[in-house]
Chains A and B, each alone.
Chain A
Amino acid sequence: MLFYSFFKSLIGKEVVVELKNDLAICGTLHSVDQYLNLKLTEINVTDPDKYPHMLSVKNCFIRGSVIRYVQLPGDEVDTQLLQDATRKESMHSKQ
């Protein structure tokens, strides 16, 4: 559940989601669930000529299983906190 919580802390931030079919979508993170399905608002496709079907879409739901990368805003990520949380989680699972 660590990454779920991590993504929840990024809600409202602008992210770029790169899919396994090479489609890259930039948008504001609206919500996330336990499968890391993402919901984005105000989306922009990086290469609209190649993917014309996305031109009429503003908000979208992306299935977690088709996501390759999520590019995050660097200054919004507290890596120290993330590291501590990882340690805490590993301690928990050992018990």
Chain B
Amino acid sequence: MASGGFGSKNARNTGTPNSSSQSSNHSNAQHELDPTILIGCANLLDEIDKRMLVVLRDGRTLIGILRSVDQFANLILHQAVERIHVGNCYGDIPRGVFLVRGDNVVLLGEIDKEKEESSNLKCVAVDTILAAQREEQEEKTIKELKRSEALKQRGMSYLHDSGINDEMY
């Protein structure tokens, strides 16, 4: 991506990062001309000390209190739990403090109390959810196997991806 154009190239060396004015500026011309390095994370600075849901690239979901961020979206999560969903049940595995490298982050969601209560998801014990997850995984594997077998018989190759497909990100 070419730089320049709308903002001047040497605008980076402006001293003070205007992080506090970040959240409310929709048409702030000053901000548009000041792409300081902090802008990338300034949005997330509003979220610090809130309980956040983080979706990772491998599909895992973490929930924890956001304690620190930087411009790459590297995160520190405090009192983190890993939440596993199977059907309309979920289970939380306590994980402690998490440092998540930014490139593994898909999204950060602010947990809305009202929405959380209105959803009809059921909290179950860790063992229960792990068993359910294993079952779901086994079902999936069997299904994949059947599919690849069926395709093979019709003379088509079928590559099923087990694990992370890095090409997708």
A binding-site residues for B, Cβ under 8 Å = 1-5, 8, 11-12, 19-21, 23, 25, 31, 33-35, 37, 39, 43, 52-63, 65-66, 85, 88-90, 92-93
Contact = CB atoms under 8 A, between A and B. Distances in A.
A1 B59 CA distance: 31
B2 A89 contact: yes
A3 to B, nearest CB: 7
Given A34-B40, A55-B115, A55-B121, A63 B53 contact: no
Interface string B103-145: 1011111111001100101000000000000000000000000
29 contacts: A1-B5, A1-B6, A1-B35, A2-B1, A2-B2, A2-B6, A3-B1, A5-B6, A12-B26, A20-B169, A21-B59, A37-B40, A37-B73, A52-B87, A53-B90, A56-B109, A56-B121, A57-B115, A59-B109, A60-B110, A61-B107, A61-B108, A61-B109, A63-B102, A65-B103, A66-B105, A85-B6, A89-B4, A93-B5
A65 to B, nearest CB: 7
